[in-house]
């Protein structure tokens, strides 16, 4: 709720790409909206992946020519940015509760991950975009509110959001890589029918680690069972917990010792 009712208009930040002027469609004939373009882009993305997401494909999805898209979207980069923005459009960050800040942060990270996983290759799009746009700034604000309510020093609070977001993005991106690799390995021609047989690949992977020369790779061999994703969810939570504990160490009452530098 904290992020939803921002009635005051946020001015566009100075580096935001200028959208084409024809924003208001006069409802003359065809209902080809920028929203419909973005929607079609998501459809293509889920079907073909980011590498298969071309303006022609999007146009085809809408039964329209490529050039028609450029009336509603100024470039492909612009389209990707719109997709990134729309992914987190109705995202809600709860009102800060200083007793439950860790749970709230866990929920935040998990639901970001869920959203990124909801569309193929979405992490690749998300990474490489900064949420400092008029639409996404409220979320940044809400996150900051959470950190500060928890009692984190300002210097830490200012970095924490970036740190967590980067972690989630990077983690999901890596998940996607493995998923793609498993899919490509399974069904080489038609990647759509190939159920990501994931487990098979994880096993292969684990076998590889276990077969490494024992003298040179003692630790990799010892941890081979933990390195491959037994369950991605568990791995995700562990990394997240490391970050949360690091943040918690800066809480005044925790008194975990001053930084040594």
Partner DNA sequence: GTGACTGATGAACAGTGTTCACCGTAGCAG
Partner DNA sequence: CTGCTACGGTGAACACTGTTCATCAGTCAC
Site for DNA in 29-48 (CB under 7 A): 29-30, 32
| Among a copy of itself, DNA, none, partner that 77 touches (CB below 5 to 8 angstroms by kind) | DNA
Residue range at the interface with DNA (CB under 7 A); choices 71-79, 195-203, 221-229, 234-242: 71-79
Q: How many residues bind a copy of itself (CB under 8 A)?
A: 75
Using rule CB under 7 A, residue 227 touches DNA:
no
| Residues, the chain | 261
Q: Is 168 exposed, middle or buried (0-12, 13-18, 19+ CB in 10 A)?
A: buried
Identified binder of a copy of itself from the candidate list 205, 206, 210, 251, rule CB under 8 A: 205
Identify which of residues 35 and 77 has a Cβ nearer to a copy of itself in the complex.
77
Distance from C-alpha of 49 to C-alpha of 53, rounded to nearest angstrom: 6
Residue range at the interface with a copy of itself (CB under 8 A); choices 54-62, 64-72, 84-92, 122-130: 122-130
Q: Contact letters (x/-) for a copy of itself, 76-105, by CB under 8 A? A: --------------------------x---
Distance from C-alpha of 71 to C-alpha of 63, rounded to nearest angstrom: 15
Using rule CB under 8 A, residue 155 touches a copy of itself:
yes
| Among DNA, a copy of itself, none, partner that 212 touches (CB below 5 to 8 angstroms by kind) | a copy of itself
| Among DNA, a copy of itself, none, partner that 81 touches (CB below 5 to 8 angstroms by kind) | none
Distances (CA, A) of 21 to 31, 73, 111: 17, 10, 34
Q: Where are the alpha helices (DSSP H) in the chain?
A: 34-48, 55-62, 66-69, 76-87, 101-117, 122-126, 137-150, 154-186, 198-210, 218-222, 224-227, 232-248
| Among a copy of itself, DNA, none, partner that 68 touches (CB below 5 to 8 angstroms by kind) | DNA
Looking at residue 85, what DSSP letter applies? H
Best CA proximity match to 6, nearest among 130, 137, 104? 137
């Amino acid at each position: 709720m904290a992020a939803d009712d921002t009635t005051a208009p946020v001015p566009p930040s100075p580096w935001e790409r200028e959208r084409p002027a024809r924003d208001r469609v006069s409802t003359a004939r065809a209902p080809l909206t920028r929203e419909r373009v973005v929607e079609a882009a998501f459809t293509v993305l889920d079907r073909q992946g980011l590498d298969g997401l071309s303006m022609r494909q999007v146009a085809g999805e809408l039964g329209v020519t490529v050039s028609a898209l450029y009336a509603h979207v100024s470039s492909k980069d612009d389209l990707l940015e719109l997709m990134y923005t729309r992914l987190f459009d109705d995202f809600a960050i709860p009102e800060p509760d200083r007793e439950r800040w860790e749970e709230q942060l866990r929920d935040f990270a998990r639901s970001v991950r869920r959203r990124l996983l909801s569309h193929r290759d979405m992490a690749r799009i998300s990474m490489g975009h900064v949420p400092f746009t008029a639409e996404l700034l409220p979320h940044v604000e809400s996150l900051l509110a959470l950190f500060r309510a928890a009692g984190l020093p300002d210097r830490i609070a200012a970095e924490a959001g970036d740190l967590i977001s980067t972690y989630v993005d990077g983690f999901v991106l890596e998940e996607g890589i493995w998923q793609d690799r498993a899919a490509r390995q399974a069904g080489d021609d038609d990647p759509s029918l190939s159920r990501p047989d994931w487990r098979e690949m994880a096993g292969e992977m684990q076998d590889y680690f276990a077969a490494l020369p024992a003298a040179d790779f003692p630790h990799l061999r010892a941890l081979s069972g933990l390195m491959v994703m037994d369950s991605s969810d568990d791995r995700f939570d562990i990394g997240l917990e490391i970050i949360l504990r690091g943040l918690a160490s800066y809480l005044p009452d925790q008194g975990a010792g001053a930084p040594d530098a």
